[in-house]
Amino acid sequence: MKLHLRIWRQANNQAEGKLVDYELDEVSPDSSFLEMLDLLNEKLIHQGEVPVAFDHDCREGICGMCGLVINGLAHGPVRGLTVCQLHMRNYKDGDTIVIEPWRAKAFPVVKDLVVNRSAFDRIIQAGGYISVSTGAAPDANAIPVPKKEADLSMDAAACIGCGACVAACPNSSAMLFTAAKITHLGQLPQGQVERYQRAASMVSKMDEEGFGGCTNHGECSAVCPKLIPLSAIARMNRDLIKAKLKGY
């Protein structure tokens, strides 16, 4: 395939950025989106130009590093996939593809398509630790957990912290991410001791980091590669109300 690429180039957080046009030939439909960017960078290096900086690590849809806005959609046009799992067969010969970084005040651009998502790490840190000792794996498995609660916890724990929810939200809200991190501990017996304090601390830190508020647009869940539902936010809000009533 032959593709016309429009890619956001920005030297650093202080520099002005702009969309730069590139032409790329001989792209295999079986290659992944990141492999296509690898091919572009090989071409740029061969021409003596600076390659495009973009985040990637596992390339298996697990780490959440490969966050890109592709033609206005976080992670691209296929629901339930990360960019590294997106294949070029979803595009046609001659297509124009616009590639941008996540857009959020709390995710400052580092270079080109790379953004600093350390705000997510600080939200998780604000949650602290659980004080219940679970022992080794067999000891933890010996604690009875109702299947419904276990399923809710596991579904929430699937969050990979990619930031697509923030990038897609018109308010740059991190509510879905924070709700997932609160839910996966709050639904388990081991997480009950600090459940409400954890919710209050993490939501407070989320606000402090400069993320916007949730106005129930639903874009966050629509672009989430792990399909985390909006009900996680409702569950977090219930915990937050209880936390306030308890004085946290």
- pLDDT by residue for the chain (248 residues), tens digit each? 999 999 999 999 999 999 999 999 999 999 999 999 999 999 999 999 999 999 999 999 999 999 999 999 999 999 999 999 999 999 999 999 999 999 999 999 999 999 999 999 999 999 998 888 777 777 777 888 899 999 999 999 999 999 999 999 999 999 999 999 999 999 999 899 999 999 999 999 999 999 999 999 999 999 999 999 999 999 999 999 999 999 99
Asked if 204 and 126 count as a contact pair (C-beta separation under 8 A), the reply is yes
Strand-strand pairing, 3-9 and 96-100:
parallel
Which one of 1.10.1060.10, 3.40.605.10, 1.10.287.90, 1.25.40.420 gives the CATH number of domain 117-245? 1.10.1060.10
pLDDT of residue 137: 74
pLDDT of residue 133: 79
CATH homologous superfamily, domain 3-111: Beta-grasp domain (3.10.20.30)
Cα separation of 176 and 15, whole Å? 31
The structure tokens listed for 107 are 């995710």
pLDDT of residue 205: 98
Q: Coil, strand, or helix at residue 10?
A: coil
pLDDT of residue 197: 96
pLDDT of residue 50: 97
pLDDT of residue 129: 87
Q: What's the predicted TM-score (pTM) here? A: 0.93
| Boundaries of every domain in the chain | 3-111, 117-245
Residue 42 to residues 5, 8, 156, 196: CA-CA distances in angstroms?
A: 15, 18, 38, 50
Cα separation of 52 and 49, whole Å? 9
pLDDT of residue 227: 96
Tell me which residue of 195, 200, 186, 203 sits closest to 152, measured CA to CA: 186
pLDDT of residue 118: 97
The structure tokens listed for 132 are 């219940």
The alpha-carbon radius of gyration of the chain (Å, integer) is: 20
In which residue are the tokens 């933890």 written?
140
